[in-house]
Structure 1
Amino acid sequence: MIDADDFDVSAAWHVAAPYDFLRRLRREQPVFRSEHLGAHVLTRYADVRAAYGDPKRFSSAGSLTISRSLSEETRLKLGEHGSFLSSFVANVDPPVHTRLRRSVSRAFTPRAVSAMQQRFRELNTDLLDRVAPRGEADFVAEIAHEPSAKLTARFIGVPEEDEEFVKHHVKDWFQLFLSPQPPDRQLVLAESFLAYLDYVDRLVASRARDPRDDFTSLMASLIGTELSHREVVELISTILLGGNDTVPNQLGNSVLRLLREGAWPVPPELTRNAVEECMRIDGASLGSFRYATADIELHGTTIPAGALCLLSTDSAAHDETVFDDPERFRIDRPNADAHMTLGYGIHFCVGAALGRLQLRTALDTLGERLPRLRLASGEPPSYRASIVGRGLTALPVEW
């Protein structure tokens, strides 16, 4: 029998290489309680998908509000913001979720997303014009983040002079809420988070007074009719996280995988599927939390009402009953897009189309400009500690 204590979310292997362990869990103990995580973990594809599709039994309400991992002193410092994200679209159930998603979706029409493709290509080209002559770079720090962060800033309406401020504080936000931190470090990160929240609050208020052609102005125009001021602030804050963190992390994971597999550069006709296979095998998201609303019997285990649950999309994406030979990278895998890295059901990521477009555009542009891209010799790549995310700390490359 597998010892559930082995599932240590503070260990480096939890992010870097959990797959042998997860394979044994799927086979022998598909639902188990992790003492390190304080949650029951669902590891099989069918169970994860079913839980995503059953918000009445697996509730999203409060699932992103993880102040339970913070010290008492940090919670006091955060005050009401210790429950930040309490009204974010991914953190609520219907009917509130239905109202929020309807409002947000207005900005993510296929036409609007497609219009951003050329701008994103230009941002990547501008960056490579500066970096390419050097012949080497840290892909994570110098290539992956800037175009995505700038595109997201433009979409949201963040002035160019504030982009570095947002990038710095978003990083601190992630560490505070989604990565294990010692109490002293929590207090420093909490101060940064409150400064970030104040910035977004002022941005929303400014656009409410003086609307422009950006997402913040669109959402601010709905305050008082469809949305509250707090809902708009949380929405803006979280989309900025995606552009400054999630998409760049997925790009870094994808480039590392493609280089290791000898699949660089990606043929343009395979880019779309390559993006899906990279998200499947090295997803930037490891899963989502839910709360059980009633006692749930699953594979001989009782998940008690009120228990926190982790839906492990990371494990589900390697489930051998769905993906043939799941540990093998197949750039032409026919069902690669069956992964749930972007969620599933009513909580499927509202920005998924934009994220996929960014990844495809980045891989195509990088492949054209840096066809001889390769990993630099030295220390093997390492991942940052995280409860629910996979991102590289650095990726030295040459060309």
Structure 2
Amino acid sequence: MITASDFDVSAAWHVAAPYDFLRRLRHERPVFRSEHLGAYVITRHEDVRAAYGDPRRFSSEGSLTISRSLTEETRRVLGEHGSFLSSFVANVDPPAHTRLRRSVSRAFTPRAVAAMEGLFRDLNEELLDRVVPRGAGDFVAELAHVPSVKLTARFIGVPEADEAFVQKHVKDWFQLFLSPQPPDRQLVLADSFLTYLDYVDKLVAARAAEPRDDFVSLMTSLIGAELSHREVVELISTILLGGNDTVPNQLGNSVLRLLREEIWPVPPAMIQNAVEECMRIDGASLGSFRHTRTDVEMHGVTIPAGSLCLLSTDSAAHDETVFAEPERFRIDRGNADAHMTLGYGIHFCVGAALARLQLRTALEVLGRRLPGLRPAPGRPVAYRTSIVGRGLTALHVEW
């Protein structure tokens, strides 16, 4: 039983098992002022959903730039890039949001997403051909990330030779902006981040000069007409984060859950619902930040205008008024997809269909190729420290 009185993002329980704490907040303090986060935390499903759908009061502008923990020296090194993501689609309100989402959605049509299923399946099969003979390994490092990294690189237009470079630097910028770091480490990460931005900038310039059939070329073709150069760089950078980090983290969380529940391999007819229930109970995203544009009255609490708020989708996904027995994994849960792990409303993840496709395909291929998959005995499970993400540092398995 967690007896914490506030969030502590450096504590293991914050990511691994915050549910007792979140349940207490929902029941006793559904609008909670966290001194640790410097933010109001909204925990009930109906309130989180309402806030997502109300950009006039809960603004997305600047919501992803969670850089309050950066030192002055780090901010100086970053310069103008300290406000990175300031023009990313999830970080702005209408009408800018409407324009940006319309542009990026051109690349995520149902036909385009469906066309990637075969490629992703092949990438998983090729990886397993190499890995299966080993009989054991780290699921996170050796199985979860590789196919998603490669698929995202192909989709974006990153050369195969640059995949490892991009993966490393994406991880670094996630840590810099979305995970508390000591001052010396911040400077190392800031240098890595600036190197990464320079790489993406050069990739955009290369596609402007010589277009190809990829996302970078499509977005670059819109510079001047619909998008700015900076907007294109930020779109590319952040979609690379999803493929290099968020989707693989969700797969790792999901496989760990399914192994613990002894539901492996997942029956093919249940894979789609299993994906939703895994996202609900062990979401890779813990929530989203917003700023209030006006004073907001909620459950007897006044949230002053200009306040930072965390919309806790993690808590919402465990709200017992929506999900019966929320701490119990039910592969046949009828409303499992009522979670908001992928966002909600106008900020529903633009790549959600592709993420779901990847998770479904991976569970199908892994279940067929590794039916005896099981946790390696005596190896502890640990999650990385993060403000808004849930991901395993490693998952040692045997088969």
Q: TM-score, normalised by structure 2?
A: 0.99
- 8 A Cα contact 2:379 2:396, kept in partner: no
Deviation at 1:6, TM superposition (A): 2.5
**RMSD of Structure 2 on Structure 1 (CA):** 1.0
**What is the match of residue 233 of structure 1?**
233
- 8 A Cα contact 1:5 1:34, kept in partner: no
**What is the match of residue 43 of structure 2?**
43
**What is the match of residue 277 of structure 1?**
277
- Residue 190 of structure 2 corresponds to residue 190 of structure 1: yes
**What is the match of residue 322 of structure 2?**
322
- 8 A Cα contact 1:31 1:42, kept in partner: yes
Deviation at 1:67, TM superposition (A): 2.2
Aligned counterparts of 1:381 and 1:41: Cα–Cα separation in 2: 27
Aligned residue for 2:356, secondary structure, equals helix
For 1:1-399, list aligned pairs within 5 A.
5-399=5-399
Aligned residue for 1:40, secondary structure, equals strand
Aligned counterparts of 1:396 and 1:184: Cα–Cα separation in 2: 31
Structure 1 runs (4+) deviating above 6 angstroms are none
Aligned residue for 1:393, secondary structure, equals strand
- Aligned AA for 1:376? A
Deviation at 1:167, TM superposition (A): 0.6
Deviation at 1:65, TM superposition (A): 1.2
Aligned counterparts of 2:6 and 2:67: Cα–Cα separation in 1: 24
Aligned counterparts of 1:306 and 1:41: Cα–Cα separation in 2: 14
1:44-67: CA deviations, max 9, x gaps?
000000000000000000011122
Deviation at 1:191, TM superposition (A): 0.2
Deviation at 1:5, TM superposition (A): 4.3
- 8 A Cα contact 2:3 2:21, kept in partner: no
Aligned residue for 1:37, secondary structure, equals coil
Deviation at 1:4, TM superposition (A): 7.9
- 8 A Cα contact 1:52 1:345, kept in partner: yes
Aligned residues with identical type, % of pairs: 83
Deviation at 1:390, TM superposition (A): 0.1
Deviation at 1:104, TM superposition (A): 0.4
- Aligned AA for 2:284? A
Aligned counterparts of 2:376 and 2:11: Cα–Cα separation in 1: 26
Aligned residue for 2:323, secondary structure, equals coil
Deviation at 1:11, TM superposition (A): 1.2
Aligned counterparts of 1:90 and 1:397: Cα–Cα separation in 2: 35
Aligned counterparts of 1:39 and 1:331: Cα–Cα separation in 2: 34
1:284-338: CA deviations, max 9, x gaps?
0000000000111111111000000000000000000000000000001000000
Q: TM-score, normalised by structure 1?
A: 0.99
- Aligned AA for 2:83? S
- 8 A Cα contact 2:127 2:147, kept in partner: yes
Aligned counterparts of 2:398 and 2:208: Cα–Cα separation in 1: 46
1:14-73: CA deviations, max 9, x gaps?
000000111111000000111110100000000000000000000000011122220100
- 8 A Cα contact 1:19 1:318, kept in partner: yes
Aligned residue for 1:195, secondary structure, equals helix
- 8 A Cα contact 2:4 2:21, kept in partner: no
1:124-171: CA deviations, max 9, x gaps?
000000000010010000000000000000000000000010011011
Count of residue pairs the alignment pairs up: 398
Aligned counterparts of 1:317 and 1:9: Cα–Cα separation in 2: 19
Aligned counterparts of 1:340 and 1:6: Cα–Cα separation in 2: 23
Deviation at 1:186, TM superposition (A): 0.1
**After alignment, is 295-304 or 277-286 more displaced?**
295-304
Aligned residue for 2:32, secondary structure, equals strand
Aligned counterparts of 2:80 and 2:394: Cα–Cα separation in 1: 35
Question: Could you list the runs of 5+ residues in structure 2 that have no partner in the other structure?
Answer: none
Aligned counterparts of 2:328 and 2:65: Cα–Cα separation in 1: 35
- Aligned AA for 1:280? R
1:63-116: CA deviations, max 9, x gaps?
111222201000000000000000000000000000000000000000000000
Aligned residue for 2:321, secondary structure, equals coil
Aligned residue for 1:235, secondary structure, equals helix
- Aligned AA for 1:75? R
- Aligned AA for 2:197? L
Deviation at 1:7, TM superposition (A): 1.8
Aligned counterparts of 1:148 and 1:247: Cα–Cα separation in 2: 7
Deviation at 1:379, TM superposition (A): 2.9
Aligned residue for 1:224, secondary structure, equals coil
- 8 A Cα contact 1:4 1:33, kept in partner: no
Aligned residue for 1:143, secondary structure, equals helix
- Aligned AA for 1:120? F
- Aligned AA for 2:378? G
Aligned counterparts of 2:103 and 2:6: Cα–Cα separation in 1: 42
- Aligned AA for 1:358? Q
